[in-house]
A = this chain, B = another copy of it.
Amino acid sequence: MIVATKSSPFARLTTLPMDAISLTEGFWLRRQEINRQASLPHGYRKLEQSGNLVNLRLAAGLTQGSYQGLLFMDSDVYKWLEAVAYEYDKIKGTEMEQQTEQTIDLLAAAQQKDGYLNSYYQVVEPRKRWADLDHGHELYCAGHLIQAAIAHHRMTGKSNLLDVAIRFADHIDNIFGPGRREGACGHPEIEMALVELYRETQQVRYLDLASFFIDHRGKGRMRGIGPYGSEYHQDRLPVRKASQVEGHAVRQLYLTCGVTDLYLETGEPALLEALRCLWHDMTAHKMFLTGGYGARFEGESFGDAYELPSDRCYCETCAAIAALMWNWRMLLATGEARFADSLERTLYNGFLSGLSLDGRSYFYVNPLQTRGGIGRQEWYRCACCPPNIMRQIASIGHYIASQDAEGVQLHQYIPAKICVKHTNEFPLTIHVQSGYPWDGRVKVIIDEAGPSEWTLSLRVPGWCTAASLQFKGQTLNDTLMAGTYFNIKRVWQTGDEIELYLPMHPRFTQPNPRIDAVRGCLAIERGPLVYCIEQVDQSSGINIADVQVDSQETLQEAWREDLIDEIVAVEARGITCDLTSWEDQLYHPLTRESLPQSEAKLTAIPYYAWANRGSNAMRVWLPRI
């Protein structure tokens, strides 16, 4: 899933290897522990219960019975294997390592002699191999196999899963390509996997095949679903001509991930230009405040510009994950802080809301408002999201820092030790301490400084307009611009400390007036977090359907351990309206009388933490007085 970019002349920044970064404490370390201790075992049980592993045993001829579930069940197994691989150091010698190795043996046993591997087509429709590229998900599943195999190889040093993946990749390469079969998978995924396989193996033909699949798109031949045509699969226009994100949101964003990976290797300007257009359209017209994407249930798709309903948005957790992956790649390609800002927005909000605090239940869809409440589920019939969350949390360290010839860039202030080798071959060790996302004080300690000059780049988040920095007794603030990197170039000394201060005060956010769905509303944010009000936290007598927030009143924050987990809660002041006079009427002639109202205190919690105390009403956007 994660690109370990080669230092091509076009790539500004390079992802650090997984073992270069270790989380030391705090918010995300806790989530990695829950992921390892609760989610991953839960996931394995669900793969067993839901038939994913049974399907592979059927394909391997090890058992008898019927295929279970949707036709891309294998991909859930691959995502789970990838997630476990990132935790290899910590699960070595446990039952989970055995489960991993047994699953890999099972995959090897299920793989056909020619390299083909897909339990659905082997068991259910053996004559329809590669017959329905639009909807068949065969290359999609193969892509997840390749990504899992690379992670497993990198983290464990073992090549048993990579061998399976390469056999399948070679089989695919024998079938598809110039002069061979035309086509591309309806669900992009193979593209980024093949670029990564090229990076892992140095075999240029994998890069060429990724390029072939990307170039095949845009011929208008793919069949959408329901009322959608080829735009559902991003097949309406060739990638280089597309200027709007459209169709199925996850497909769109997995495609742009693959295209960015291709750009990172080829440096073709037309690709970056198209990617910039698409990214602009996505973030300027089709992004929810939570960094979620996909406005419509119909086709799990993007909507029109400014079509951003709070209640019936889709915001699939997998689309948030795709946005994380794409923003990371765009950051590598350009070094521009806005991609890290956007990644941060999705990470702490639209992505993290997909997971319960105990790590055992999931949202597929992440609304910004519910009137009646919805609940997370332990698993889904289409269970793409849960194991996708698992691999994302296990590999979260990837998003913390990068490097280039100048030095090291810090993007996300997650407490961690970062050990890299400078391009001049000397080792550097950087220790980041922070109370993020609750506290904006960040301390960066140079534990191993190296002999010569290099640059440390610190991201000043776009939301932080009053950042300051202390170093060697000096205080800087004017030069720390929100939404840029602050660079310090010097010969560092071991023990050097930089104190970055990113003040987090709760703030009101207003929407673009063209977003009809939230007209007249404000949201509350604090640091990287979007807040919401959940009915359960409000005083009796307050119905969150009838409140209005007063933007003249100051928002108050408090560290709370009594509401839910440990959070900074925000208190807003406003009113609650008495709608008695409206009873039974949806519409009536304009009157100039205002409704009876009374003062109300509203307690807001971070959006990601909602729906952990049963099913109740919630809203992110609050009508303003």
Contact = CB atoms under 8 A, between A and B. Distances in A.
Nearest to A619: B516
Contact of A586 (B287, B521, B545, B582): B287
Contact of A588 (B284, B509, B587, B595): B509
Nearest to A227: B297
A528 B587 CA distance: 14
Interface stretch (A66-74, A299-307, A451-459, A494-502): A299-307
Interface string A578-617: 0100101111111100010000000000000000000000
A589 B311 CA distance: 22
B508 A590 contact: yes
A510 interface: yes
Residue with the highest number of chain B CB atoms closer than 10 Å, among A465, A513, A516, A623: A516
A587 B289 contact: yes
Task: Work out how many copies of this chain go into the complex.
Answer: 2
Contacts of A546: 513-514
Contacts of A287: 586
Given A296-B297, A298-B298, A305-B371, A551 B590 contact: yes
B311 A511 contact: no
A372 interface: yes
A251 B519 CA distance: 33
Given A520-B519, A586-B284, A588-B510, A309 B306 contact: no
A280 B298 CA distance: 29
A285 interface: yes
B283 A312 contact: no
Nearest to A370: B304
Nearest to A381: B227
Nearest to A519: B520
A516 B311 contact: yes
A173 to B, nearest CB: 37
B297 A371 contact: no
Contacts of A312: 296, 303, 307, 309, 312
A582 B514 CA distance: 10
A310 interface: yes
A135 interface: no
B280 A584 contact: yes
A306 B508 contact: no
Contacts of A372: 304
A369 interface: yes
A522 B582 contact: no
Nearest to A462: B588
A306 B371 contact: yes
A283 B586 contact: yes
Interface residues on A, range: 35 or more
A282 B520 CA distance: 26
A283 B546 CA distance: 20
Contacts of A508: 589-590
Contacts of A475: none
Interface in A491-538: 507-523
A509 B297 contact: no
A344 B519 CA distance: 30
B514 A517 contact: no
B310 A516 contact: yes
A132 to B, nearest CB: 21
Contacts of A369: 516
Contacts of A507: 589-590
B579 A513 contact: yes
A546 B372 CA distance: 32
Contact of A587 (B298, B303, B512): B512
Contacts of A577: 513
B587 A511 contact: yes
A371 B304 contact: yes
B545 A514 contact: yes
A595 B513 contact: yes
Contacts of A585: 284, 512
A449 B527 CA distance: 79
A589 B509 contact: yes
A309 B514 CA distance: 15
Interface in A295-335: 296-298, 303-312
Interface in A553-591: 577, 579, 582, 584-591
A298 B298 CA distance: 6
B584 A623 contact: no
Most central of A287, A297, A310, A465 by chain B CB within 10 Å: A297
Nearest to A283: B586
Given A514-B579, A586-B284, A371 B307 contact: yes
Interface centre among A289, A296, A512 (most CB of B within 10 A): A512
A623 B304 CA distance: 19
B298 A510 contact: no
Given A280-B584, A507-B589, A513-B546, 19 more contacts: A284-B584, A287-B586, A289-B586, A297-B298, A307-B311, A310-B516, A312-B312, A465-B589, A508-B589, A509-B588, A509-B590, A510-B590, A512-B579, A512-B587, A513-B582, A513-B623, A514-B546, A515-B586, A519-B521
Interface of A: 280, 283-285, 287, 289, 296-298, 303-312, 369, 371-372, 465, 507-523, 545-546, 551, 577, 579, 582, 584-591, 595, 623
8 contacts: A305-B371, A507-B590, A508-B590, A510-B587, A513-B579, A514-B546, A515-B586, A519-B519
